[in-house]
Chain A
């Protein structure tokens, strides 16, 4: 069965520092991978997605992620974190089930940014 693991529950970084959030997936076929961000009290917003092709994908707000098939990973990165990036981040894998296209989410990583 498909699954997504985000090993870091909580990460704290200083503003201006670089960021890497880890995501590992388990899925038998070619995965469709997503990163979503949830600001406090808000819904989820899509940051970026990987379908195929170039393994380094760019997203909104200066984020990027790299798909590594050999490591079953899709880690999210940002070169310089801003205080407004404090939020919870979810990695997800797309799964086909009958006629529906569903997402399986990881448990999330909460990012705290110190000034």
Chain B
């Protein structure tokens, strides 16, 4: 049982390049999330998917797109990378049951992205 996995672990891009960050979970969770973590700013939500086939913007969606490929996988795409997107990106999932346990999120190990 791997939990939440993310690839790649590290990536360096040049300004204007594109790339896709991959995330998969094997816990049969319904909801999945993408965050970015920047020093002194905590985690900020980029996009989320409450269930397969649905996606919604979070707090900082500009410059990103997402795809909920199936129940397991949720990818984050940078179409034209900018230095401001240098960050650590975390994927998370939760079992969207009714009630407070639906807020309990499980995190992947992160992808450290540098845009030069």
Identify the A interface with B (CB < 8 A): 9, 32, 34, 36, 42-46, 49, 51-52, 90, 94, 98-103, 105-108
| Other A-B pairs beyond A43-B90, A43-B107, A99-B96, 12, CB < 8 Å | A9-B40, A43-B109, A45-B107, A46-B104, A52-B100, A90-B42, A99-B54, A102-B45, A105-B42, A105-B44, A107-B40, A108-B42
Give, as a whole number of angstroms, the nearest-CB distance from A34 to chain B.
7
For residue B68, give the distance in angstroms from its CB to the closest CB of chain A.
12
Give the bracket for the number of chain B residues in contact with chain A.
Answer: 20 to 34
> Do the beta carbons of B107 and A102 come within 8 Å of each other?
no
| Total CB contacts across the A-B interface at under 8 A | 64
9 A-B pairs with the lowest CB-CB distances in the bound complex, closest first = A94-B103, A43-B107, A51-B100, A101-B102, A100-B50, A107-B42, A105-B42, A44-B107, A99-B50
